[in-house]
Chain A
Amino acid sequence: MLPVRYITRRLLSYILTIFVSATLIFVLPRVAAGNPIENILIRMELQGTSISGGKEMIDAWVQRFGLDKDLWTQYTLWLGNLFRGDFGLSMIWFPASVQDILKNALPWTIGFSIMVILLGWVIGNIFGALVGWRGEHSRFNWVFASVSIVINHIPFYVLGLLLIMVFTFYLQIFPSSGGTNYMITYQGISPALIVDILYHATLPALSVILVSIGGYLITMRSLMVNIKGEDFVRYAQARGLKKGRIMMNYAFRNALLPQVTGLALSLGSIASGSMIVEWIFSYPGIGSLYVKAIGQNDYNVVQAITLLVIFGVMTGALLIDLLYPILDPRISYEKR
């Protein structure tokens, strides 16, 4: 039976979160410094920006964002545009629309994020389970725990810098930038292209994966140690079941459930961190665009990407949460 109430509740909170974020993105910059668009327009006028049709552009903006009207009208106008996925024109890559710019970069980011998030989670949990199952008192265990604590506390992008130094500067085996080799033009999707993409993604992916492995390992390890002392595991041992089976079917499956929730909660910080990783590696995704747009005050692009990332994170978390009742049959969610 589908837990209808749970799903409705979860969907409502999904919509609420996105609405709150969208409102925050409208309100916060205005609280901080008046009207962002107006600010940028003033700055452009002061600098005598020489974009062709600059005057028309400014007029179009004033009309588009309703700058001559009151805040409430601006807000509804803004929400309406957002709802249609219309983020306006980019200010630095003028006259391209924000939508067009994002369209090219988005597949890179989606592919990269899904890969690193899943790999980190799977590897971290397997290692954590093995380390935890071996028992809390082995020396091996202590070493693993300390190493993961240290690794887990390096920001992704900092590890990325170190990896570039080691693998690009000293060893010269991995490239430090780009999504593919820029010297080669590929026609359609070919095996060579895929190999090239993976080769270029190695270092940026490692910077995220290694750190997140550390985090999942720490929690998985303590979950396993904890579960090992539970009665149902003792009972399975007393029944004389094979060790491997007890570990996989009894302990690991149970320990995995909180880790699924953990995955949903960590999406936000992984997204924040890997955007900066993209920039450091000049990866052709939205993270690189984001930092470039920040550097050049392209407010429309910054705003669109912020919303997009929040939307992506929330949708990911929603999907994981909807999978949860399938994974854990004990929970009916009817009594919450």
Chain B
Amino acid sequence: MKAMEKTQRILKDAGTLLRHNKKLLIGLIGFLTVLSISLSVYPLSIPFPPVLGQDKAKLPPSSEHPLGTDNFGRDLLTVFLYAIQLSLYIGVIAGTVGTSIGILIGFVSGYKGGYVDDVLRSFVDVFMVIPLVPILAIIMVVVKSVPLHVMALILGAFSWPGAARTIRSQILSLKEREFIDLARISGLNQFEILFKEILPNMLPYLSIVFVGSVVGAMFAEVGLEVIGLGPQAVGTLGYLFHWAILNVAVLKGWWWWVVPPTAALVSTFASLYIITVGLDEFANPRLKRITGQ
């Protein structure tokens, strides 16, 4: 009974939040739309859209195949919807890895301060400016084909600098607050202070940082796959572009090869971005005046 009341209260709070925070609402609706469209195909596509044969390859759109077929002779609509799922899957794993590393570095750097902070901050600055795709490409060139989750881990290992920087600056301001002093006086150790006092107060920032890492990782993912690096056996959104380029689709006017993945990418990225703006406003209400409508 108590649990039900609690869920009800959380739902009600979430409702109020979304009513007052239009951006968060719009972003969530956009993202959930993309997600549910991509999931609509899932039950049909295990393990992967069947190859219909070379005579059925590169067909134009028809009632049977709304987006035609790809160069392997697979229904492109199914491949496309499946690709959204795969790309999101990579993005979420990489984002989780990236955020965790970012939290760790940001926490240590902000909370310890001094010498440790100096070293970690220069480390973060170095990784902030290094162009990501060439560095990742040089790993992928050597490894060649990697499984999906390995690709995600590699991307995650490089998508933390933004997270680390944001978290560090939040910690810097939080650790000066009185309730942290109180916690210290009451004998909590550093670990407890970080996880019980600071972390819960940073939830909106953590979500912003998480969404940011997901977007960053997906951007890098698409970039690598476009040039033919990454998990080759499966088709992610980046691979759809790769195949489109290799088959010169745009010069033949095959819009159905290019426009759907573009739309999927843009709506995913834009809705995630709007979510972060909404979260930012929630964490820092003064921003509302600055960002306007």
List A contacts of B228 (CB < 8 A): 291, 294-295
Least CB distance from A181 to B in Å reads 17
Query: Is the Cβ of A149 less than 8 Å from the Cβ of B250?
Result: no
Q: Is the CB of A165 within 8 A of B135?
A: no
Among B98-106, B107-115, B177-185, B258-266, the one that faces the other chain is B258-266
Separation in Å of the A254 CB from the closest CB of chain B? 14
Q: Footprint of A on B, CB under 8 Å?
A: 122, 125-126, 128-135, 137-139, 141-143, 219-220, 222-223, 226-229, 241, 244-245, 250-253, 255, 258-259, 261-262, 265-266, 269-270, 273-274, 289-293
Q: Which residues of B are found within 8 Å of A137, using beta-carbon distances?
A: 292-293
Q: Which chain A residues lie closer than 8 Å to B293 at the CB level? A: 136-137, 141-142, 145
Which chain B positions have C-beta within 8 A of A21? 126, 130, 135
Chain A residues within CB distance 8 Å of chain B: 13, 16-17, 20-21, 24-25, 28-29, 32-33, 36, 39, 136-137, 141-142, 145, 149-150, 153-155, 157-158, 161-162, 164-165, 168-170, 176, 222, 225-226, 229, 264-265, 267-269, 271-273, 275-276, 279-280, 290-291, 294-295, 297, 299, 302-303, 305-306, 309-310, 313-314, 317
The CA of A203 and the CA of B133, in the complex, are separated in Å by 22
Instruction: Point out the residue from A154, A269, A294, A305 that lies within 8 Å of B229, measured CB to CB.
Output: A294
Shortest Cβ distance from A157 into B: residue? B226
Whether B134 pairs with A226 at a CB distance below 8 angstroms is no
Q: Contact: A225 with B245, CB < 8 Å? A: no
A169→B251 contact, CB < 8 A: yes
B142, B255, B258, B291 interface centre (most CB from chain A within 10 Å): B142
Complex CA gap A303/B291 in Å reads 42
Docked complex Cα distance between A276 and B136 (Å): 14
Residue of A nearest to B150 (CB): A32
Residues in B neighbouring A154, C-beta threshold 8 A: 262, 265-266
Given contacts A155-B219, A225-B292, contact A276 B226 (CB under 8 A): yes
Report how far A16 CA is from B118 CA in the complex, Å. 14
Task: Give Cα distance in the complex from A313 to B265, angstroms.
Answer: 26
Counting chain A CB atoms within 10 Å of each CB, the highest count among B122, B130, B252 belongs to B130
Instruction: Classify the interface of chain A: helix, strand, loop or mixed.
Output: helix
Q: Sample 21 A-B pairs with CB under 8 A, ordered by A number.
A: A16-B126, A25-B135, A28-B138, A36-B142, A136-B291, A136-B293, A137-B293, A141-B292, A153-B265, A157-B241, A169-B253, A176-B250, A222-B292, A279-B227, A291-B228, A302-B137, A305-B134, A306-B135, A310-B130, A310-B131, A317-B129
| A29 surroundings in chain B (CB, below 8 A) | 138-139, 141-142
Residue in A21, A155, A269, A290 with the greatest tally of chain B CB atoms within 10 Å: A155
From B129, B132, B133, B219, residue with most partner A Cβ within 10 Å = B129
In the complex, chain B residues whose CB is within 8 Å of the CB of A309 = 131, 134
Return chain A residues, CB-CB under 8 Å to B223.
155, 157, 272-273, 276
Is the Cβ of A161 less than 8 Å from the Cβ of B138? no
Beyond A150-B270, A225-B289, 10 extra complex contacts between A and B, CB < 8 Å: A20-B130, A29-B138, A32-B142, A32-B143, A137-B292, A157-B223, A170-B253, A229-B289, A276-B227, A291-B227
Q: Contact check, B141 vs A297: say whether CB atoms are below 8 A apart.
A: yes
How many angstroms from the CA of A137 to the CA of B291 in the assembled complex?
10
CB-CB nearest in chain B for A164:
B250
The 8 A-B pairs with the shortest beta carbon distances in the complex, nearest first, are A136-B292, A153-B269, A272-B133, A268-B131, A29-B142, A306-B134, A165-B250, A33-B142
List of A residues within 8 angstroms of B122 by Cβ: 13, 16
B216's nearest neighbour on chain A, judged by CB, is: A269
Docked complex Cα distance between A36 and B219 (Å):
26
Bound complex: CA A196 to CA B224 (Å): 31
Say whether, besides A154-B262, A161-B258, A280-B245, A17 and B129 are in contact (CB < 8 Å).
Answer: yes
A275 x B253 contact (CB < 8 A): no
Determine the residue in chain B with the shortest Cβ distance to A307. Answer: B134
Instruction: Count chain B CB atoms within 10 A of each CB in A17, A36, A165, A226 and give the residue with the most.
Output: A165
Contact status of A299 and B265, CB under 8 A, knowing A149-B273, A271-B131, A310-B130: no
Bound complex: CA of A226 vs CA of B287, how far in Å?
A: 9
Give Cα A137 to B228, complex, Å.
Answer: 45
Closest to B219 in A: A155
Q: Which residues in A have their C-beta under 8 angstroms from that of B141?
A: 29, 36, 294, 297, 299, 302
How far, in whole Å, are A47 and B253 apart by their CA atoms in the complex? 38
Best-surrounded residue of B141, B226, B251, B269 (most CB of chain A within 10 A): B141
- Given contact pairs A13-B125, A268-B129, A162 touches B262 in the complex (Cβ within 8 A): yes
Query: Are B129 and A314 in touch, CB under 8 angstroms?
Result: yes
CA distance A164 to B219 in the complex (A): 21
Q: Which of B131, B138, B227, B266 contacts A269 (CB under 8 A)?
A: B131
- Residues of B near A275 (CB, < 8 A) are 133-134
**Of A20, A141, A150, A294, the contact of B227 (CB 8 Å cutoff):** A294
Judge whether A153 and B135 touch: CB under 8 Å: no
Query: Across the interface, which residues of B come within 8 angstroms of A225, CB to CB?
Result: 289-292
A241 to chain B, nearest CB (A): 24
Complex CA gap A248/B141 in Å reads 49
B98 to chain A, nearest CB (A): 16
Closest residue on chain A to residue B287 by CB atoms: A222
